[in-house]
Amino acid sequence: MKTAARALALLLILSLFFSCTKKPHDPLANSSREDKNGWIYIHLEGSPHDIGYQHGYLVAKEIDTLIKAFQFYLPHTTNRSWQYFRAAAARFNWWNKIDTEYQKELVGMAAGLRAKGMKYDSLDLVVLNGNIELTSYYEPLQMNKAKPGSGDNRAPGNCSAFIATGSYTKDGKIVIGHNNWTDYIIGERWNVIADIKPAKGNHILMDCAPGFIHSGDDFTISSSGIMVTETTITQFKGFDSTKTPEFVRARHTVQYANSIDDVIKMMTAGNNGGYANDWLIGDTKTNEVAKLELGLKDYRVWRSKDTAIIGSNFPSDPKLIKEETTFDVNNKASSPNARKLRMEKLVAVDYKGKLTDSTGKLIEGDTYSAYDNKQIMNRCVIDGHVEEDPMGVPEWNEGPYYPMGAVQGKVTTSDLAKKMQFWAHMGHPGGADFLAAPYFAKHPEYKWQSKYLRDMKAYPWTLFSAK
């Protein structure tokens, strides 16, 4: 009996020991990466630290290359170094203006990068995420303080977008489309589809650049039924370093907003004026859409259940135009105004009542200039090709034939968004390739970019779905 009792006691002890022994935590559990048609699809899931670690680990090579591209590129475009912008972000204490969960995500991303041998810290990732605010809003403000007018025309004028609903779409529900304009040296690498399932808040599907915790060019849908995109306000002037960075507000909004009112409230709270945009917002629960034109001092909202709203980097509110921009609404030759005319005709006339995901793809790839009255590759078309334009884009401080324009596109509908799906196209949405070697042969003045500027192939439209 004693032997049996001892054996039973030993079994109980062993059972208790093994039941209390936990398996080591695997931060990569449930995450995945798939490369498809020029895109890197990543599924990220779990705690903020795990989501960051997964992102840093799965896309380590691409984050490393993007940061190195910025380190090389910024001294040419801003006369400032990566270290200068690190010091600026530290000086106005951005870290403490970042939500705690996103601090953990950035720390986790740095850990994921280190696990792959990449030595970056959380401040590097803050600068990466806030690069547009730092280089195009903070630094121009410093330039204008030193010499009035020297920092003008530095705010980016990137993207062509629309959102429509009611009588403007084929099924009366929402259709939304967007293409990202940016310098090719950066935009060719803006090729991540991030499917984020956080421990708290909404499930998110968005495009982004490697290492971004937000979309950046801002095409996002969430499990709450909210869809958001934007286009930048050209020739905007204003920045408040004491307020919350735009990239933090943008990520928080898509993760926690459940209505258009939520988006407006969250984006305007603590607004620093960085990356000043016209935000196009839709709610699949009600099929209502809205535009939030958000400056620093001024903002205005338009909303309706029967409208088509466009964005091509032009401001609309007279008060904001007068007080916070140098934008010329009467310059028909400007890229924003020329694209505005073309988009108004497409969404409100040619495709009115016919807008679907298919026609949305055609809009984002359109190359007809309303200014030139012909098919052409230049600054005035929706699928922009500044690299073929002898004028460049003066209002963005882009010289003749500068290598920038539309680098990718996205389209979705209410029905697709409810299934957490959208279409994405890497490269010019109209289907044209950008080839570096023949470009540099024609324009050796930009050959300084050849270290990082590569071919940008146009891939097929591809449907992505959240897991």
* pLDDT for res 158: 86
Q: What is the pLDDT of residues 402-450, one digit of tens each?
A: 999 999 999 999 999 999 999 999 999 999 999 999 999 999 999 999 9
- Could you give the CA distance from residue 376 to residue 378 in angstroms, rounded to a whole number? 6
- The 10s digit of each residue's pLDDT in 103-119 is 999 999 999 999 999 99
Of the pLDDT bands very low, low, confident and very high (cuts 50, 70, 90), residue 195 is: very high
Per-residue pLDDT tens for 312-355? 999 999 999 999 999 999 999 999 999 999 999 999 999 999 99
- Place 20 in a pLDDT band, splitting at 50, 70 and 90: low
- CATH code for the structural domain at 32-465: 3.60.60.30
Q: Confidence band (pLDDT; 50, 70, 90) for 1?
A: very low
Residue 7 pLDDT > 90: no
Say what the pTM is.
0.94
- Tell me the C-alpha distance between 463 and 425, whole Å: 9
Residue 311 in tokens: 């964005």
User: Is the confidence at residue 10, as pLDDT, over 70?
Assistant: no
